[in-house]
Amino acid sequence: MFEVKVPVLGESITSATVANINKSVGDFVAEDEIILELETEKVNLEITANSAGLLSELLVKQGDDVKVEDLVAKIDESKQAKVKQVVKEPVVEIKKVKEPNGVGEMIEHHIFNLDLETLSPAVRSLVIEHNVDLSKVKMSGKNGRVLKSDILEYLENINNAQIVNKAPVRNKDALDRKVRKEKLPAIRKTIAKRLKDSQNVAAMLSTFNEVDMSQIMKIKKSIKQEFADKHGVNLGFMSFFTKAVCVALQENSKVNAYFLADTEEVEYHDYCDISIAVSSDKGLFVPVIRNAESLSFDQIEKTIKEFANKAEKGSLRPEDLVGGTFSITNGGIFGSMLSTPIINQPQSAILGMHNIVERPVVVDGQIVIRPIMYVALSYDHRLIDGSDAVSFLVRVKNLLENPEKLFFDL
């Protein structure tokens, strides 16, 4: 008997929620086949079978909370169990039988020679539980074999028909006032807790400025195709902001530090691990670009693209999401003009990017139209003074408006 347990989930992660169960008791599972999926506070993980056999026990249900090393399932990997996966194909015979209807008519019936033992355990269980008439089930398996999906489809059709027949006639003008409750996903619970903790712990303030994006947009336009052809990735704004932030962080170490309230210490970093907020259908993730200060523009863009792809597929690893020293978030992609982003504890600051809008500005005494982005820096006032925060943001603004300085270390 092989025991399936919750594996080590990653740094600082001790529990998870059962998000989906892919197998039923009695199902045959192949080696490395997914049995169930777990949702942690940071990423989703798949629990697979390390050995082939029959799923003899399933000790959790969807929505259950589990911890590392908890037993979640058992697989019977004995030779006898594996043999049970071989299922006889049903034989369909057509016989003429006399119905006791007093007339003596000979009526054709399809007699399905389907011994329950020939069905897979999952199918057999459903047939017995719901008293399924197999003669009415559409069989889509090879050689007319009954699949679990066939039974489920049949039951769903019956239920839908019953609902339609029993549904009362509703007034077309009646208001539809449905209420739905869903269990909060583990990732959302963690986000909620951390944001509230940050709000409660940090003495958070924000300072703002505006950036003329003209020069960066000119560079992007002039080398866009050449950059993509050479590096296989598009040149975006995020790489410019990441490079500018790294320069400013190395000049202002407090903005790149942790405030450790428990020990009353400040932890400084001589490297820049930049946390980049990535939004996907599965939620908001903040993976970390390691040693961003030493990366080229194309390396930064490739790393961001890789993280975005992983986020969409749900394949981000716990180690991708820990250890950042400073964060950048871009609400501009959703149309945000201005915001006050919340600090990602234990970091001491976060930069918020926003949408680019053509605005009238004064340049050399003349009113001209320029593409302007408002930027915001939220910072922990326990560690960072207002003058340091403003100086940091002005330095970032200066580098972005004069991007040639990023290429020549100016």
Task: Work out whether the CA dihedral 46, 50, 51, 55 comes out positive or negative.
Answer: negative
CA distance 255 to 250: 9
Specify burial of residue 400 (Cβ count, 10 A radius: 0-12, 13-18, 19+): buried
| Residue whose C-alpha is closest to residue 42's, from 352, 292, 331, 316 | 316
**CB-CB contact of 383 with 345 (8 Å):** no
Q: Is 64 a catalytic residue?
A: no
**Beta-strand relationship, 258-260 and 278-280:** unpaired
Query: Catalytic: which of 130, 133, 197, 381?
Result: 381
In terms of Cβ atoms closer than 10 Å to its own Cβ (0-12, 13-18, 19+), residue 15 is middle
Q: Name the one residue in this structure whose structure tokens are 């450790």.
A: 260
Question: What span, in angstroms and rounded, lies between the C-alpha atoms of 28 and 148?
Answer: 12
What backbone phi and psi angles, to 5 degrees, belong to 169?
-75, 125
Rounded to 10 deg, the angle between the 386-401 and 237-251 helix axes is 140
The residues that bridge with 376 in the sheet, in sequence order, are 208, 352
What is 363-384 written as a DSSP string? ETTEEEEEEEEEEEEEEETTTS
Contact 291, 271 (CB under 8 A): yes
Q: Do residues 151 and 126 lie in contact, with contact meaning Cβ atoms separated by under 8 Å?
A: yes
From 65, 133, 385, 388, the catalytic residue:
385
Is-catalytic flag, 176? no
Residues annotated catalytic, as ranges: 381, 385
